[in-house]
Amino acid sequence: MPLQAINANTLTEAGQSLGSNTVGVLTRIIIPNILPGILSGSLLVFSTVFAEYTLTSLIVGAKFKTFPLLLVEYTRINGNVAATFSVISFTIAWLASILILWVGSKSVGSSTETLRAR
C-alpha cells in the first residue's frame, strides 16, 4: 500500500462524512499529509541526479553536452573553469534544497494552521 503511513482510507472516509467530494478530499486532506514525503523525495532525487555523470553519459551519449559531460570535459582542459562550474553547481543545488525545504515548511505550517482554525 503506497499510503500506509497516513491511513488514507480513514482520512478519505472522514472527509466524505463531513461532506467533501473526492477532489476536495484529495486536495485538502491527502496531498497536505503526503507533501513532506513528496518534498523530501524530490530533494533526494534532485541531489542524486544533478551531477550523475555515468547515467548522463549512458543515456545521452556524445551527441549533447549536458552539465556533467561539460564538467568532465573542462576538467581535462582547464581546472579553473571546472572548479568554477563545480562551485556554481553546488550553489544552485544548495539554493534549490533550501527552496524545497522552505516551501515544505510553509505548506506544513499552513495545513497545521488550517486544522487548528477548525
Confidence of residue 1 (pLDDT cuts 50, 70, 90): very low
| Total structural domains within the chain | 1
pLDDT mean over 25-43? 81
Q: Mean pLDDT lowest for which of 44-48, 51-55, 111-115?
A: 111-115
pTM over 0.85: no
Domain around 84: 38-117
What per-residue confidence (pLDDT) applies to 111? 53
Give the Cα separation of 97 and 40 in Å (integer).
10
Could you tell me if residue 82 is inside a domain?
yes
Could you tell me if residue 16 is inside a domain?
no
The rounded mean pLDDT for the chain is: 75
What per-residue confidence (pLDDT) applies to 50? 64
Could you tell me if residue 8 is inside a domain?
no
pLDDT mean over 76-91? 81
